[in-house]
Amino acid sequence: MAFGHWSASWPALIAYVLAAGWHLAGLRRLLAANGTGPNGAGTPAGRGLRREAALCQLGLLLVLLALVSPVGYFASLYIWVRALQMLLVGVVGPGLIVLGAPWTALGLGAGKQPWLMSRPTLAVVAANVLWIGWQIPVLFDAARANSAAGLAEHLSYLVAGLLFWLQMISSRPYSQRVTPIRRVTLLVGTVAAFTVLGMVLVFGSNVFYFGFPASAHHVMSVLSDQQLAGAVLWMGILPPMMVVAVALMMEWLRDEESADLSAGLDRLLTPRRNGWPSRPVIR
């Protein structure tokens, strides 16, 4: 079952080849322009670029595998696998891509920052709407039954993930304009939204998704499958969010320590005023 259900999703394969090839070609030009050679061997800048490129390529490959591997096949049969696919395509894969900072290699980092990066709350709300909106039963069943709707669903997940992680992670050449504490607040809000969704599915006593065939559920019922999907969304969103939240808290503490150190140095270097007059005063 694990190796017998690979699908040749031509839109996904073509998109992957174009994106990966575009990124690698741009990376080669970037390394050559920086004087590090085509492979960037032996220089810290080149090694950093290669590490970033590896993360980006891993993210692209993960998104592809979630669509063409057995995960893509069983996502049309089981609701919980479809929830897992959503997390891979919409959360984990885009997070790796943003960590890989492919924008300069793709020729997208020369201009100003995306305008949504100056409106992080709006961007995070939009990402959550795209993620959770497709879980509405009408859209959820339509994406399973119609291939065009399914492609739109997966593209929406990917766009939402990129939009979300760009607000949380500094991705060269884009930098964050909001404090780490505010970003942690947005992370907590996202976790809360997924918690509510997961609780509705886990504790619901009625089947919401009627588009999944009951004949395929030999081990569990459709309702149990739906409840397991809720648990996947509820618990599956936590690991990446917790990792980023810890990193942001460490960044905040480092900034606070730097601010305290700077304030202490300023106090030490600022000459104190003497309470006594410097010269004798004749009255």
Predicted confidence at residue 194, as pLDDT, reads 96
CB crowding 233-247: b at 16 or more within 10 Å, else e: bbebbeebbeebbee
Q: Tell whether 267 is covered by a domain.
A: no
Sequence-distant (≥ 6) Cβ neighbours of residue 24 within 8 angstroms: 53, 57
Q: Tell whether 269 is covered by a domain.
A: no
Specify the higher pLDDT residue, 218 or 195. 195
Number of domains in the chain: 1
Q: Tell whether 122 is covered by a domain.
A: yes
Q: Tell whether 275 is covered by a domain.
A: no
Residue 38 has pLDDT above 70, yes or no: no
Q: Tell whether 207 is covered by a domain.
A: yes
- For residue 251, the enclosing domain spans 10-256
Predicted confidence at residue 273, as pLDDT, reads 59
Q: Tell whether 241 is covered by a domain.
A: yes
Tens digit of pLDDT for each residue in 69-124? Answer: 999 988 988 999 999 999 999 999 999 999 999 998 888 866 667 777 778 999 99
Q: Say what the pTM is.
A: 0.85
Predicted confidence at residue 40, as pLDDT, reads 47
Task: Supply the Cα-derived Rg of the chain in whole angstroms.
Answer: 25
Q: Tell whether 24 is covered by a domain.
A: yes
Predicted confidence at residue 46, as pLDDT, reads 76
Q: Tell whether 273 is covered by a domain.
A: no
Phi first, then psi, for residue 179 (nearest 5°) are: -70, 155
Tens digit of pLDDT for each residue in 206-251? Answer: 999 988 877 677 778 889 999 999 999 999 999 999 999 999 998 8
